[in-house]
Amino acid sequence: MADAVDRYLTAGAALPWVWGVSDCTIWVADWCVLQFRHDPAAAFRGMYDDEAGAERLIAAGLSHAIAPWMPPLRVTDAPRRGDVGIIDIRGREVAAIWTGRRWAFRTPRGLGECPTRAIVSWGR
């Protein structure tokens, strides 16, 4: 039987990629709203609608841009299923959800998964 993480990943795989609405970072932030009742992207919503706008917001790196907005979530070196993090995919920082075995992330082509170590991860 699928749990909330599985259902969210399945739904995410079918979403169209829309900058500022359902891109990798907003998708993970929407998960945080559902899972943790906290929106780490509240300050960024409506601030960009294309790749150039997103790049301006995260010029210093995605992990640095969103870290101040993550509390009340706590940094963890041992993420649990459903926790969130920032991973490196081919030299690019990407927001992701820990599945228990891999980090799941969105791309313009759909959902990806990677067994990498997170740059930083957060949970309860």
Average pLDDT of the chain to the nearest whole number? 95
Q: Are 20 and 53 in contact (CB under 8 A)?
A: yes
Which token pair is 50? 């294309």
Query: What residue ranges define each of the domains in the chain, with the CATH number in brackets?
Result: 4-123 (3.90.1720)
Report the run of H or E that residue 104 belongs to, with start and end: strand 103-107
In whole angstroms, give the CA distance from residue 39 to residue 37.
7
Which token pair is 122? 């957060």
- Residues 64-114 have pLDDT tens digits of 999 999 999 999 999 999 999 999 999 999 999 999 999 999 999 999 999
In whole angstroms, give the CA distance from residue 75 to residue 49.
29
What is the residue whose two structure tokens read 């949970």? Answer: 123
pLDDT for the residue 2: 66
Cα end-to-end distance, the chain, whole Å: 24
Name residue 56's beta-bridge partners.
none
- Nearest Cα residue to 122 out of 93, 87, 88: 87
User: For the chain, what's the residue count?
Assistant: 124
Average pLDDT over residues 36-60: 95
- Residues 3-42 have pLDDT tens digits of 999 999 999 999 999 999 999 999 999 999 999 999 999 9
Report the run of H or E that residue 77 belongs to, with start and end: none
